[in-house]
Structure 1
Amino acid sequence: MEARLLSAILGVVLVQAETAVQSLDLPRLAGFWREVGVASKQHLALTTPKRLEALFLTLHEAELTVRAAYSSLGSCETENIVGSEVNVSGKFVFPGRREIRVIDTDYERYAILRLSLAWRGEDVHVLKYFARSLEEDYEPGLWKFRELAADTGLFLVARHGQCAKLLKQVSLH
């Protein structure tokens, strides 16, 4: 009974967080973001050998360009993906049935995103916590992420990887 009540409360919190983002200031979201935490019920989302380290977001009207830096078997890979905003502020769709939704952000220190994608015939949903800094995780934002992810299985990663550093250096120049 307590577990169902907790899930219901967290579901309400998640819905409130999603609706609170209606007035999202998208230009302030642009720039460098380092991945700090991942939460998913799907084990595959947590154990992939190609690990995201950082994103650099660029906005142009209703288009979001995501430059992603991955660590894969000891080397760095980057990928550029262009998505478009749909009828909800902070929700972007990308080719391949992928979607990103901004759940919460203070623009300056942290962002919590929900990624949805189809993989091997399954819908996979992942909550991700990002920090602007290569060094700091910003504890108040991290606590919000932990609360939202409490019933999904939590995997925190403190990656200070070379790929994130390279993406930040290249993208800022």
Structure 2
Amino acid sequence: MEARLLGALLGVVVVQVEMAVLNLDLQKIAGFWREVGVASNQTLTLKTPKRLEALFLTLSGDALNVKAAYSHSGSCETENIVGSEIDVSGRFVFSGRREIHVIDTDYERYAILRLTLRWQDKEFHVLKYFTRSLEDEYEPGFWRFRELTADTGLYLVARHGRCARLLKEVSLRPVHSESPLRPRHELI
């Protein structure tokens, strides 16, 4: 009984957060984002050997272009994926049965995203906390992230990584520069 009541209350919180970001300004969400926190009730989503460190978002019409930097076995890899905005502003669908929903952001310092992954006929949800900064983690968004994930069960704070630093440097350079990041593959 208590579990159902708690689930219902959490559902109300998520709905309220989603309604608050309904008018997401896509131009303001673009740019560099470093992953700082991850929360999920699925250990599989937290124990991956390939760790996301940062994203660089750009827009092309209603398409969201995501360049992701991963740390994998001591090296940095990138992946380029393109998502399409669907029924609600701030919700994007990607190939590979993935969906990203921006549930809270102040655009300048933090963003909280909910990722939905569909695998073997099951849905997995992961909440992720991102900052614009390479250094600061405990911004006001971090405490908002902790509120939203207090009952999630598993929680992980990302390590500072060189892949995030490289993605930021490379993404802000003119197009003609060579990239020290190794592209894994591109899905366009």
Q: Normalised by the size of structure 1, how large is the TM-score?
A: 0.94
CA contact (8 A) 2:38 2:158 kept: no
Looking at structure 1, the residues matched to 100 and 46 of structure 2 have their Cα atoms a distance apart, in angstroms, of 17
Tell me what 2:142 maps to: 142
User: Which has the greater radius of gyration?
Assistant: 2
Looking at structure 2, the residues matched to 69 and 32 of structure 1 have their Cα atoms a distance apart, in angstroms, of 11
Looking at structure 2, the residues matched to 11 and 167 of structure 1 have their Cα atoms a distance apart, in angstroms, of 35
Q: Give me the CA root mean square deviation.
A: 1.4
CA contact (8 A) 1:109 1:138 kept: no
Secondary structure, aligned partner of 1:22? coil
Q: Give the 3 Å change call, closer, same or farther, for CA 50–108 of structure 1 in structure 2.
A: same
**How many residue pairs align between the two structures?**
173
Tell me what 1:162 maps to: 162
- Over 6 Å off, 4+ runs: none
Looking at structure 2, the residues matched to 33 and 71 of structure 1 have their Cα atoms a distance apart, in angstroms, of 15
Deviation at 1:116, TM superposition (A): 0.7
Tell me what 1:91 maps to: 91
Q: Give the 3 Å change call, closer, same or farther, for CA 71–159 of structure 1 in structure 2.
A: same
Deviation at 1:122, TM superposition (A): 2.5
Deviation at 1:4, TM superposition (A): 4.3
Looking at structure 1, the residues matched to 138 and 157 of structure 2 have their Cα atoms a distance apart, in angstroms, of 14
Q: Normalised by the size of structure 2, how large is the TM-score?
A: 0.87
Identical aligned pairs, as a percentage? 74
Tell me what 1:20 maps to: 20
Structure 2 gap ranges (5+): 174-188
Secondary structure, aligned partner of 2:168? helix
Tell me what 1:106 maps to: 106
CA contact (8 A) 1:32 1:56 kept: yes
CA contact (8 A) 2:28 2:107 kept: yes
Looking at structure 2, the residues matched to 111 and 53 of structure 1 have their Cα atoms a distance apart, in angstroms, of 14
Deviation at 1:7, TM superposition (A): 3.3
Deviation at 1:148, TM superposition (A): 0.9
Deviation at 1:11, TM superposition (A): 1.9
Tell me what 2:69 maps to: 69
- Equivalences for residues 2-41 of structure 1 within 5 A: 2-41=2-41
Looking at structure 2, the residues matched to 155 and 138 of structure 1 have their Cα atoms a distance apart, in angstroms, of 15
